[in-house]
Amino acid sequence: MAKTSKAVRFDPADIKEELLKKYPPKVARKRAKQIMINEAQESETPPEIVANVRTIPGIITMRGCTYAGCKGVIMGPTRDIVNITHGPIGCGFYSWLTRRNQTDAGETGENYMTYCLSTDMQDQDIIFGGEKKLAAAIQEAYDLFHPKGICIFATCPVGLIGDDIHAVARKMKEKLGDCNVFAFSCEGYKGVSQSAGHHIANNQVFTHLVGENQTPPEGEYKINLLGEYNIGGDGFEIDRVLRKCGITNIATFSGNSTYAQFASAQHADLSAVMCHRSINYVADMLETKYGIPWIKVNFIGAEATAKSLRKIGQYFGDKALMDRIEAVIAEEMPEVEAVAADVRSRTEGKTAMLFVGGSRAHHYNELFQEMGMKTLSAGYEFGHRDDYEGREVIPHLTVDADSRNIEEIEVEADEKLYRARKTPEEIKALEDAGYKFKHYDGLNSDMDKGSIIIDDLNQYEAEKLVELLKPDIFCAGIKEKYSIQKLGVPMKQLHSYDSGGPYAGFKGAINFYKEIDRLVNSKVWSYMKAPWQENPELTATFVWE
Amino acid sequence: MLLRHTPKEVAERKALAINPAKTCQPIGAMYAALGIHGCLPHSHGSQGCCAYHRSALTRHYKEPISAATSSFTEGASVFGGQANLLQAINNIFTVYEPEVIAVHTTCLSETIGDDLNQIFEKARREGKVPEGCTLVGAPTPSYVGSHVTGFSNMVKAMAQLAEPSGKKSGKVNIIPGWVEPADMAEIKRLATLVGVPVTVFPDTSGVLDAPLTGEYTMFPQGGVTIKELKASGDATATLAMGEWCSADAARWLDAKCKVPCTVLDMPFGLAATDRFIDVLRTVAGVTVPDAVAVERGQLVDLISDMHQYLYGKRVALWGDPDQLISMCEFLVSLDMQPVYVVTGTPGKKFEERIREICAGRPFEVKVKAKGDMFLMHQWIKNEPVDLLMGNSYGKYIARDEDIPLLRWGFPILDRQGHQYFPTVGYRGGLRLLEKMLDQFLDRKDRDDPETSFELVL
């Protein structure tokens, strides 16, 4: 498709109508509530979006399941815990090395991420129950690896046949003595998307790991980084920048993580939340139980990284730290700016669409803005209303049957370990200076008026959007990649980054600018038609005639 | 070392599978269904299954894989998935307009006992299936067999669409088994060359190797049509390639429609391709043209030219039974030594066949059905091999043990070409030889001392 003048002028209401036109009436009614036209933020009653609701059967969704969110996303990146999938072989197989979580265990350290362990349930296990097999599998895994921890993940049939995986885990933990065994009831049918799985995983990590290690780690300005999964080495770049600033990252939840990091998380003095969707409740629990305040950060985008570092500096309020952060920013930015300026000459005014994750669609907006690109339409695959509209809506969220099934754990201040990090006066002083704790405005506030925000975008709507608005780039996941590219539009995976990355931090921003420049300015997309297809009429004559 | 915790000592495991050499039934059913023209595969279960299968197939083919799901929630899991599937059928025909929906079950819907045929009947009664459109269904419980079983079950469901007219069509059914789109195209090419009209099903050529044109169509040109499947009951014969992948469908056509079937090995390598061509010309009553003999002769020629580099080479293979049987036979015919052979798919007959193929040869084969790659890696640690042949998961063993890996099988997630260049037939045999020789000779060029480094090999 020709990439000439693309000053897109469209009436978002027409686009919405077009997207809904072909649906059966019931589907159209439901989807209409998940497609919203962004209004100016000063509007007194910003429109609501319906999110975190069931996918419609038969509508080709981008979403995965609770098991994928639990085992794949949250527990996948921890290298020294042995993960055993309790179920038929498939679920374990598909979640085996397919997310690009990088880890660094050194030459000899423990790293089980390359292993796929499963009870490989057979029909007799479904009929007679799989608890004995699970216990035997845990024993066999222990005998082979002697890990510090073993995690058990339930797949769909496990819940149906009623295997008590938690009882098996308790029994085996007691039996083994030096191995922490715990389980996750993350059957794929629970909840409406992988988001439920994140919640189930994080609850168990909080219950079974956090707080276990009583010895405070060394270092100054201790933080936890929540909701960073080290895809393509993002976490490595963030850690590099943090270290350079003198900030100690006690635990990343859960990119490049270890058992010991989780077990020491209560020693941090601040939680910095990257992916709001997958983990904001852990930040809340860390605050309630241990007294650790939390802030929203974003290390996707160079400006966003600088802003987040300053936010961390301001929290600790130490001039030495703040000076060092400024020095780091001053040192890192020139290279970023040079590349941005070069790339921008070719990316300015180009358009993007972002349909990914529960926070990534928002975070990557920053990077595209830094390149002078405009996001025409965006949305989340498994976000909730607060990820769109901001945390103010949380008290107004309705709890439906699907959300009710996902355990909310109640925590209270730990008698021994709770320690207020700041006095109420200090908190107030920060807030008076404009500092925002526990604050997140959501995606909508950063989207232009009139842009189209779509929750749980599906295959049909994606294809229509691309046809109607012809973006210069479309971002989603592997399942969407090639149908979009068949339309002649480059597609960038923002779950796995294709094979690229890191895109976080300063070095990551440079990588991303170059990658997007490569994609939107490639000649590849001009090869669609053969010369005889472009000029089908024969106008020349043969020389010998 | 990426698999640093794998010990050399083999301890028996009764409950734990580690680094599997198989996956679950539904993905096989989904792949087979993509070989029906105008078909949208549908996964009757929770939406994660569908997402996983689509992702795995997309990573392997680098092509769009469209498939829908019943998106079970907790309620559907308790009360049954009928309402979800009925709604899905209506939505799919309205929005995506396929000619066929091929539904497969999952461990979830099988455990709760959903009956696809009964739900299909209800959908038809309620007018949810447009005129001329078809519903196909296959039970694919993930806790039985493997992805190969699921493939076979969907292929059998395709055969069950046969509506014999009583009049023979003169065509031959070929059930190619789980091979690449390029392999299906090559089988069709060979049949055409021999001069036999065939119906190949499933047929993913023209579906999962679609060109980039700037236009996207959910249902590309390729695939076997429902009309062809209905007429498969009128065929002269059925050739089923692979006992595990294809035999059930062929035997069903034999028993129910009186189409005589021959179950062959998949045509990988010289001897298996010879048998394929020989049976094909026999059932069709035609003479094989010289062009086929020329292709065969080219393969024999390259084998003889390069025999010195292949002779005695020890190979470890993992993958699916039908493919491994033919490949082992090919390797043995080259005087190579397939010393370790593992599939995750169950089947005692597999172990017997492999032992038979390797019998009387100067090596002892270790073979295991229901095995896994962890075990195979342990065998390798005890006595190494010269070559690994299998899917991309082998790259971790290849790197740790410094052994070359020839990617062949499913899934291949990190190299290209498998979807475009066949490995079946004589030409496929040439390509397999080329790939093997590249591995061995690249190694030789890397490892030979400077004094004996040579230009001509």
Q: Which domains does chain A have, with CATH numbers?
A: 66-190 (3.40.50.1980)
Q: Is residue B7 part of a domain?
A: no
- Which of A62, A115, A152 would best serve as a mutation to test chain B binding (most B beta carbons within 10 A)? A115
Contact at CB, A528 and B42, closer than 8 angstroms? no
Q: State residue A3's pLDDT score.
A: 41
- Using the beta-carbon criterion (under 8 Å), do B96 and A108 form an inter-chain contact? no
Among B127, B156, B185, the domain boundary falls at B156
A265-295 tens-digit pLDDT = 999 999 999 999 999 999 999 999 999 999 9
CB contact under 8 A, A481 and B215: no
CA distance A286 to A357: 24
Q: Using a CB–CB cutoff of 8 Å, tell me whether A349 touches chain B.
A: no
Q: Give Cβ neighbours of residue A177 (< 8 Å, ≥ 6 apart).
A: none
User: Phi then psi for B343, rounded to 5 degrees?
Assistant: -130, 150
Binding-face residues of A in 468-497 toward B, CB within 8 A: 477-479, 481-488
Is residue B151 domain-shared with residue B125, that is, in the same domain? yes
Does the structure show a pLDDT above 80 at A7? no
Q: Which two tokens stand for residue A205?
A: 């990590």
The DSSP bridge pattern shows strands B237-241 and B172-175 to be parallel
Q: In Å, how far from its chain's centre is CA B155?
A: 12
Active site residue A68: yes
A99 catalytic? Reply is yes
Residues 333-392 of B with CB under 8 A from A: 344, 374
Cβ contact B3–A114 (<8 Å):
yes
Residue among B18, B20, B84 minimizing CB distance to A57: B84
> Residue B34 corresponds to which tokens in the numbers above?
């993509």
Q: Tell me, yes or no, if B199 comes closer than 8 A to chain A by beta carbon.
A: no
The answer on B285 and B323 residing in a single domain is no
**Structure tokens that stand for A531 in this block:** 């010369």
Asked if B111 reaches chain A (Cβ–Cβ under 8 Å), the answer is yes
Same domain assignment for residues B322 and B418 = yes
B380 lies in the same domain as B430 = yes
Question: Per-residue pLDDT for A539 more than 70?
Answer: no
Please tell me the predicted confidence (pLDDT) of residue A544: 64
Residue B20 lies in a domain: no
Range(s) of the domain holding residue B360 = 292-451
B411 located within any domain:
yes
Print pLDDT tens along chain B (457 aa): 999 999 999 999 999 999 999 999 999 999 999 999 999 999 999 999 999 999 999 999 999 999 999 999 998 988 999 999 999 999 999 999 999 999 999 999 999 999 999 999 999 999 999 999 999 999 999 999 999 999 999 999 999 999 999 999 999 999 999 999 999 999 999 999 999 999 999 999 999 999 999 999 999 999 999 999 999 999 999 999 999 999 999 999 999 999 999 999 999 999 999 999 999 999 999 999 999 999 999 999 999 999 999 999 999 999 999 999 999 999 999 999 999 999 999 999 999 999 999 999 999 999 999 999 999 999 999 999 999 999 999 999 999 999 999 999 999 999 999 999 999 999 999 999 999 999 999 999 999 999 999 999 9
Predicted interface score ipTM higher than 0.95:
yes
> Are A94 and B77 within 8 A, CB to CB?
no
**Is B24 an 8 Å CB contact of chain A?**
yes
Q: From the candidates A51, A68, A141, A265, which is the catalytic residue?
A: A68
Contact A481, A493 (CB under 8 A): yes
Residue A314 touches partner B, C-beta closer than 8 Å: no
Residue type (1 letter), A169: A
Q: Quick check: A188 and B19 CB within 8 A?
A: no
Specify whether B245 is located in the same domain as B334: no
A-B contacts (CB, under 8 Å): 263
Residues 6 or more apart in contact with residue A255 via CB below 8 angstroms: A77, A101, A102, A228, A229, A230, A231, A234, A235
> Which one of B43, B52, B368 would you mutate to disrupt binding with A, by most A Cβ within 10 Å of its Cβ?
B52
Q: Which residues of A touch B64 (CB under 8 A)?
A: 481-483, 486
User: Is A129 near chain B, with CB under 8 Å?
Assistant: no
Residue B214 located in a structural domain: yes
CATH code for the domain of B201: 3.40.50.1980
* Nearest residue, CB atoms, B16 vs list A96, A112, A141: A141
Residues from chain B contacting residue A108 (CB–CB below 8 Å): 4
**Which residue of the set A79, A100, A198, A495 is catalytic?**
A198
Q: What is the tens place of the pLDDT at every residue in A344-370?
A: 999 999 999 999 989 999 999 999 999
**B187 and B315 assigned to the same domain:** no
Any idea what the Cα angle at residue A293 is, between residues A288 and A295, rounded to 5°? 130
DSSP-derived 3-state class of residue A158 = helix
Helix (H, G, I), strand (E, B) or coil at B390: strand
**One domain, residues B310 and B204:** no
In this structure, are B231 and B334 located in the same domain?
no
Cβ B46–A188 below 8 Å, yes or no? yes
DSSP-assigned states of every residue in B255-291: HHH---EEEE----SHHHHHHHHHHHHHHHT-PPPHH
Identify whether residues B198 and B341 lie together within a single domain. Answer: no
Structure tokens at B441: 């000779």
Residue tagged active-site, from A28, A99, A346, A391? A99
- The token duo for A374 is 């405009």
Residues B112 and B37 in one domain: yes
CB contact under 8 A, B23 and A63: no
Q: Is A427 on the interface with B (CB under 8 A)?
A: no
Mean pLDDT calculated for residue range A109-131: 98
Q: Is the pLDDT reported for residue A4 higher than 60?
A: no
Question: What does the pLDDT average to over A494-503?
Answer: 96
String of b and e for B113-139 (b: at least 16 CB within 10 Å)?
Answer: ebebeebbeebeeeebbeeebbbbbbb
Look at residue B196 and tell me if it is in a domain.
yes
**Number of structural domains found in chain B:** 3
Residue A540 binned pLDDT confidence (cut-offs 50, 70, 90): low
- The per-residue pLDDT of chain A, averaged, comes to 95
CA distance B406 to chain A (A): 20
Q: Cβ contacts (< 8 Å) between B213 and chain A: which residues?
A: 486, 528-529
Structure tokens that stand for A417 in this block: 């370990």
CA distance A296 to chain B (A): 29
**Do the chains contact at B396 and A114, CB–CB below 8 Å?**
yes
Domain boundary among B130, B156, B182: B156
Judged by CB atoms closer than 8 Å, whether chains meet at B210 and A486 is answered as: yes
- pTM (2 d.p.): 0.97
What's the confidence (pLDDT) of residue A6? 47
Claim to verify: residue B303 and residue B441 sit in the same structural domain: yes
* CB-based contact A24 B94, cutoff 8 Å: yes
Give the contacts of A306 (CB within 8 A, at least 6 positions apart): A329, A333
For residue A104, pLDDT beyond 80:
yes
Structure tokens at B64: 């769009």
A283 is catalytic: no
> B449 vs chain A: nearest CA distance in angstroms?
29
Burial of A78: CB neighbours in 10 Å, binned 0-12, 13-18, 19+: buried
User: Is residue B17 situated within a structural domain?
Assistant: no
Instruction: Please give, rounded to a whole number of angstroms, the shortest distance from the CA of B23 to a CA of chain A.
Output: 5
Task: Indicate whether A538 pLDDT > 80.
Answer: no
Asked if residue B348 is part of any domain, the answer here is: yes
Tokens of A54: 């069931």
pLDDT confidence tier of residue A543, bands split at 50, 70 and 90: low
Give the residue from B96, B125, B156 where a domain finishes.
B156
Tell me how far CA of residue A187 lies from CA of A69, B106, B270, in angstroms.
10, 13, 47
Contact B107 A126 (CB under 8 A): yes
Tell me what the mean pLDDT of segment A487-516 comes to.
97
Instruction: Specify whether the CB–CB gap between B155 and B245 falls below 8 A.
Output: yes
* One domain for residues B249 and B342: no
Task: Compare CB distances from A460 to B53, B54, B96 and report the shortest one's residue.
Answer: B96
B260 touches chain A (CB under 8 A): no
φ/ψ region of A384 (left if φ > 0, alpha if ψ in -120 to 50, else beta) reads beta
| Cross-strand pairs, A86 | A154
Q: In the predicted model, is pLDDT for residue A537 greater than 90? A: no
Asked if A112 reaches chain B (Cβ–Cβ under 8 Å), the answer is: yes
Per the domain annotation, does B395 fall within a domain? yes
Residue A42 in this model has a pLDDT that exceeds 80: no
Q: Per-residue pLDDT for A2 more than 50?
A: no
Residue percentage of chain A with pLDDT more than 70:
96
Q: Which of A377, A380, A493, A369 is nearest to A442 (CA)?
A: A380
In chain A, the residue whose alpha carbon lies closest to the alpha carbon of B345 is A89
* B39 in Cβ contact with B221 (< 8 Å): no
d(CA B149, CA B246): 10
Handedness of CA B356, B362, B367, B372 (dihedral sign): negative
